[in-house]
Amino acid sequence: MKNKQFLNIILFHISWWIYFICAHSENILGVVANFILYSVLHFYFVSENKGRDFKMMLSFAISGYLIDFYIFENILFTLKHKTLTETFWLFGMWWGFVSCVPYSLEKIIKKPFLGLPLAALFGPLSYWAGEKIGVLKYSEPLLFYYSLHGLFWALLFFILYGLDKRNKI
């Protein structure tokens, strides 16, 4: 299991950087290729329950994408590109993040006093990195919107914790 956890988080971080680089350079084929390669590697080498993982990844990736694209976009941040194909990288990042929940993030999900502040800090930090790369722009004042985004990530963690307690993930 430890090898799968390590492989899972490494694949996610490599994929994360590729998404940002491809989104910045407007390379939709790179985004799609990254999504396919990540999915194949995850389901072949990491996944222990392909059906559960697929349903969980699809439902949370769609939800996360829609929340980011339709609710947060223009409130917390502005995306560089606006069309579905141009923002598919955002769906891919959610897909990859959710794949980490039952594997690499399993121990953190089970410890809310550790996970809540980590989620509140590092969730928005990945978007801030996207701002530095040039694929989105946080609203001003940055500290206010970053904190608001952190609250969302803490809430998301709380939802994942609740689902884990009910053995839904």
Local mean pLDDT, 10-residue blocks, the chain (169 residues) = 88 96 92 97 96 93 90 85 84 96 88 90 93 91 93 91 73
Residue-level pLDDT at 1: 62
Backbone angles phi, psi at 141, to 5 degrees: -75, 135
Question: What share of the chain has pLDDT > 70, as a percent?
Answer: 98
Report pLDDT digits (tens) over 27-58: 999 999 999 999 999 999 999 999 999 999 99
Amino acid at 85: T
Do residues 93 and 16 lie in contact, with contact meaning Cβ atoms separated by under 8 Å? yes
How far is the C-alpha of 169 from the C-alpha of 161, rounded, in Å? 9
> Domains in the chain: how many in total?
1
Nearest CA to 16 out of 102, 95, 101, 105 is that of 95
pTM: 0.90
Residue range of the domain that includes 97:
2-165
Do residues 105 and 111 lie in contact, with contact meaning Cβ atoms separated by under 8 Å? no
